[in-house]
A and B are shown apart, each in its own frame.
Chain A
Amino acid sequence: MIMIFGIPGPLLFGQLLLGLINGAFYAMLSLGLAVIFGMLNIINFAHGALFMMGAFAAWMLLNYFDIGYFPALILAPLLVGAFGIFLEKTIISRLYKLDHLYGLLLTFGLSLVIEGLFRNGYGSSGMPYRIPSLLQGATDLGFMFMPNYRGWVVLAAFVVCTATWLIIEKTSLGATLRAATENAPLVQAFGVNVPRLITLTYGGGIALAAFAGVLAAPIYSVNPNMGSNFINTVFAVVVIGGMGSILGSIVTGFGLGVIEGLTKVFYPQASATVVFVVMVIILLTRPRGLFGKAA
């Protein structure tokens, strides 16, 4: 067996893979938060609840309509994204003229309502969601056995994050979006429908969270608290990365997942807090965050 720093190779790589998976979720969630914050200037506290809704949407599609994993991977984000657009149109858009903190408080209230409703309907014990048969089993990579589904999650998250980055940085739609983030009235003067752009951005960010939720469904049990377990760490990730850059939030998300995985190998007691420790170090040395722009 290969030993690395006195640790058996398969154990190390196994934890690294787990770290990458957590990192994939951090990256997708913090990416959505960053995109929404850029456009709407609100911190979407309901992000975790909508992530959970994505997982539940997949579970419901399977159990009520007999729609499998792969169609759910498309359908659930569309459904939850549409719900997000509805929320933006009806309530969130009323707060744009107010202090940013009110947006945070409103979405926090929203997350309480959503999680409470799901807890009433489905209890908090959680329900299993089976890995699709195509992705069951494991592959021998030579240095470790990799469960296929876990590899798929990392791959899918990576593709989606890259696609989001490409859309925002390399397409004309993305250019309009970035321009509207910088100076909305000017972009509107050029004839761009900025309010619609804002609505779509919110919907897109939510769809990203829901996509992450579907990916998470077979790994963690589908339960109403799955979002809030993640979201506090994601906020730390956002503070570390800074919300200025899309690429920054992706890199920070994956990076912190890996750091967390490694901590689990070398010093398991600290694995829950290591992200926060990194946040403290970053705040002491680079208060704007790794990729943050000047305020």
Chain B
Amino acid sequence: MFGFSRPQFIAFLAMLALIIVCPFVVYPVFLMRVLCMALFACAFNLMIGYVGLLSFGHAAYFGMGGYVTAWTMKVWHLDASIAILLGGVTGGVLGLCLGYLAIRRSGIYFAMITLALAQMVYFFCLEAPFTGGEDGIQQVPRGHLFGFIDLSNDMTMYAMVACVFLGGFLLIHRIIHSPFGQVLKGIRENEPRATSLGYRTDDYKLIAFVLSTSLTGIAGGTKALVFGIATLTDVNSSTSGEIVLTTLLGGLGTVFGPVMGSVVMVSMENYLAQFGAWVTVTQGVIFMFCVLAFRRGIIGEIGNYLKLKL
């Protein structure tokens, strides 16, 4: 099911067990943050790992998804499920518009264009009235799920976030192992050959980009709901850099790498938060270390050691 190989299925069961057990041991809000970032990283990994395009502006879709979910919850008092879905739609529509522009170039230019477009979104959020500028949208109610499940309890909220994460994770896995995903990998390996075989590679790239940004929007919306706040930090280019690092650290193009990466990154931010700017320095050092000596990432190295594709 979902195209899991046997070792991947075992790893998935282990992850599922951890998701169920952990909230009884660890602070659930921390875990929810991990799961939101993990979904964000998995969605990002769909582009870098399977299409081979580095988007350096994924924060735009994450942040805008968060803003729309927060705004619709606070002003329209929508159901939580619909608000999060609207966050995903926002990510998707924005991804369709900006992706249409960005896929005209590849490689380094793609990275620079996505970065510049995300910067434009950031300036828009800074000026636009509905985002609240520097203050952001604060005191967003968590509301109800399907009209009757009260989400103000952390454990109930955790259950919903876990379901959103697992849904996104399985969807991405299904996409990667579908015929569509095979074409994406073909484009990554050799685009001219994919074109000569009759595939419209630009369409494939754009669809993959929109899928990735939609899931990113959902992750952003979920995060905004968990913390009850949507701010400029989530649209900022530093968030884009962070998600690149998360995925790189866990392992580009691996199934479980982004999840592992976000566990490490979020814990690190948590424990290093008291040291102020040292967080940035540490992140930079890890970045350089990963690029120079650890390009497979944590899961990639483990998989290589065990000779498995994880």
Contact = CB atoms under 8 A, between A and B. Distances in A.
B104 A283 contact: yes
Interface size classification for chain A: 35 or more
Interface in B109-142: 109, 111-113, 115-117, 119-120, 123-124, 126-127
B105 A287 contact: yes
Which among A43, A235, A279 has the greatest number of chain B C-beta atoms within 10 A? A235
Given A272-B123, A273-B120, A280-B101, A232 B115 contact: yes
Contacts, number: 118
Given A101-B111, A235-B115, A280-B101, A112 B120 contact: no
A231 to B, nearest CB: 9
Interface string B271-283: 0000011111101
B185 interface: no
A82 to B, nearest CB: 20
A94 interface: yes
Contacts of A269: 127
A14 interface: no
Nearest to A109: B287
Contacts of B105: 239, 283, 287
Given A91-B292, A284-B101, A105 B108 contact: no
A119 B277 contact: yes
A113 B284 contact: yes
A110 B281 CA distance: 9
B14 interface: no
B104 A105 contact: no
Interface residues of B, number: 41
Contacts of B286: 109
A100 B107 contact: yes
Contacts of A235: 112, 115-116
A233 B82 CA distance: 36
B28 interface: no
A47 to B, nearest CB: 12
B215 interface: no
Interface in A67-116: 91, 94-95, 98, 100-102, 104-106, 108-116
Contact of A104 (B111, B113, B279, B281): B111
B292 A110 contact: no
A183 interface: no
A239 B291 contact: no
B269 to A, nearest CB: 14
B199 to A, nearest CB: 19
Interface SS, A side? helix
Contacts of B291: 95, 102, 105-106, 109
Contacts of A106: 287-288, 291-292
A110 B288 contact: yes
A104 B115 CA distance: 12
Which among A101, A111, A120, A277 has the greatest number of chain B C-beta atoms within 10 A? A101
Interface string A223-237: 000001000110110
Given A112-B283, A235-B115, A236-B116, A101 B104 contact: no
Interface in A136-155: none
B116 A276 contact: yes
Contact of B123 (A100, A116, A273): A273
Contact of B287 (A112, A276, A284): A112
A109 B287 CA distance: 5
Contacts of B248: 105
Contact of A112 (B108, B281, B292): B281
A106 B278 CA distance: 18
Nearest to A105: B291
B278 A120 contact: yes
Contacts of A115: 280
21 contacts: A43-B111, A95-B292, A104-B108, A109-B245, A109-B284, A109-B287, A112-B281, A112-B283, A113-B280, A115-B280, A119-B276, A235-B112, A235-B116, A239-B105, A272-B126, A276-B116, A280-B101, A283-B101, A283-B113, A287-B104, A287-B105
Interface of B: 54, 101-102, 104-105, 107-109, 111-113, 115-117, 119-120, 123-124, 126-127, 237, 241, 244-245, 248, 276-281, 283-288, 290-292, 295
Q: Which 8 A-B pairs have the closest CB atoms?
A: A109-B287, A112-B284, A113-B284, A116-B280, A116-B281, A276-B120, A236-B116, A119-B277
Interface of A: 37, 43, 91, 94-95, 98, 100-102, 104-106, 108-117, 119-120, 228, 232-233, 235-236, 238-239, 269, 272-273, 276-277, 279-280, 283-284, 287
